[in-house]
Structure 1
Amino acid sequence: MPRQLPPLNALRAFEAAGRHESFTGAAEELGVSHSAISKHVRGLEDRLGARLFRDLPRGVALTQDGAAYLAQLTPAFDTIAEASEAFSAKPVGTVVVNAETVFALKWLVPNLKRFTDAYPDVHLQLDASEQLIDIARYEADVAIRFFLAGAPDGMAELISDSAIYPYAAPSVAAQVGDDPKNLLNFPLLRDRGGDPWRVWFDGIGRPDLGALVPDTRRTRAMLAIEAVIAEQGVLLASSDNVKHDEEAGRLVRCFDHGFRQGTYHMLFGEGVLRRKPVRLFRDWLLAETIEFRSV
């Protein structure tokens, strides 16, 4: 017995309008007119015998029936899209990534060639910002942000919960040697809130030294790293942000004791994981940063 399916164009129009809760947003996504979306949706409502949207003074909103229908249709369209993409030998598209400045410059940029070599037809548009952009308004497909405490709300993946350790330029590290008391001979920089240096000294069983650490102003991570490379002090930094400077010999880990404070997460705009290029970037980034996750 053949399936009794509504017209595919009507389903596509409703599904897009439901996700955006906007006929205009659906029209822009599908490249048709607002009136075409409205016509498809009203025809679908007549066919189903149900109201899928209710009119608002400005725009529309899903009814209870509409929300329930959308919850079943969107996964079905995702499954069809993923099955169809499997026949595409080369994923093509643009992924807009917005990352905090220090992570963008110190980790992403030095590693991105591996992604572009693997997926030459996927264009990465990389921006750096200290502000938490509005993912929901599609300012980016993916945002990478540091959270000092707790996990972010919404769709997110942990990138790194790497511990922080004392790092210094080789000449400074040589003067520090094996005695943590020598750290007090240098400016102790911090790029995070609280009193991380006192926490670190407590962790090695020397709270007496931690009590001697002067109050210091927080310095932006990028500036703090560059200052330490320039032999202007010692910084408690996470190993993800200094990995390449350490490998290049510009920074040395002074002591092996570290502690965890904060995490990097990857945040996603609504629905962007339906696109294969975005999923490829997510999977690549998770694989590349596995060494920085404790679990």
Structure 2
Amino acid sequence: MAKGKGNKKVLASINYSIDTVKKIKDNYKFTIEEKQDILHKFVGTSPDNNSYFTPDVICNWIKQLLDIQSGKVADLSAGVGSMIKPLVEKYGSLQDGITFEAYEFDTNNSAAGEIAWSDYSQVNYIGDFNSIEQHEEIPDDYLYIVGNPPFSGSIPYWCEWNHAKNGKAKNNNICDAFVDLSVRKVKDKGFIALVLPYGHLYKGNATAKLRQWMKSQVALKGVFPLDQDTFAKAGINGTTVGTCLVIWQKGVAQEEVFFGELCDKDDIVKEMESMARQFQLFLSGDYEVKYLSDSASRLRGKVEQKIKPWTGEAI
């Protein structure tokens, strides 16, 4: 068990979440402050404790890495909507030009998320929704799909890369299913950013088949290993499972991959901001990032210009 929450904090989190769900069922009228509290205090209370909501610092980093300024965004396993929070301009409004569709299966998470985002016209929070079984109801025109899908368990899911000989669905790892679904639902040239178990990068069997299929659909753009304590305070008890943030772009050729490992625990927010700027330079295609290193709380890198200024011609 991760050393995240003491027993008193665990009990307080559980009691708060149970009380919140009870209030919702009793048609309690939440104040603005109480709605905002849900996003910071609510924890998943499902029997398997599988709701490890993504920490705010990681959600903010995803927004920075992708430089989300406008467009249609989705989270196919949204929890209470942690991925939406960095896009808030002020209470009741996201940044201009952004719409967000959040899909969530768990009943309690759904109840809490629907209340928390009820005053945001740019947010379509769709609760009690099984993204895997109801995938045909999900549009396929998202510019960004972000998220932290469930890691464990298997479900019947038809996919091009792993189905029965008679054409029917096989049981597939639930995380693999969400990755596949994200690829199918993001638009051409759109981006996917998912927090995944580190094993996604090297596991064999069906996951290897998934990676092989993905080569024909998306280009791997960035891999960002996360500290084992990233989810130490998530959920009820936390977890030290190894994770990484992976970014793909659909419908483009595979080229070099950006690998960014956070090193500076003393000022990790500043390092995240610096690395996001480096990643944007990398994505622009105008510069080639030669190396990255961390020194004295600053991310440093060497970039070489690849095009002539103002002309757009290659050097």
- TM-score of the pair, normalised by structure 2: 0.22
Considering Cα pairs closer than 8 Å and 6+ residues apart, tell me whether 1 or 2 has the greater RCO: 1
Larger helix percent: 1
- TM-score of the pair, normalised by structure 1: 0.23
Instruction: Indicate the structure (1 or 2) with the bigger Cα radius of gyration.
Output: 1
Larger strand percent: 2
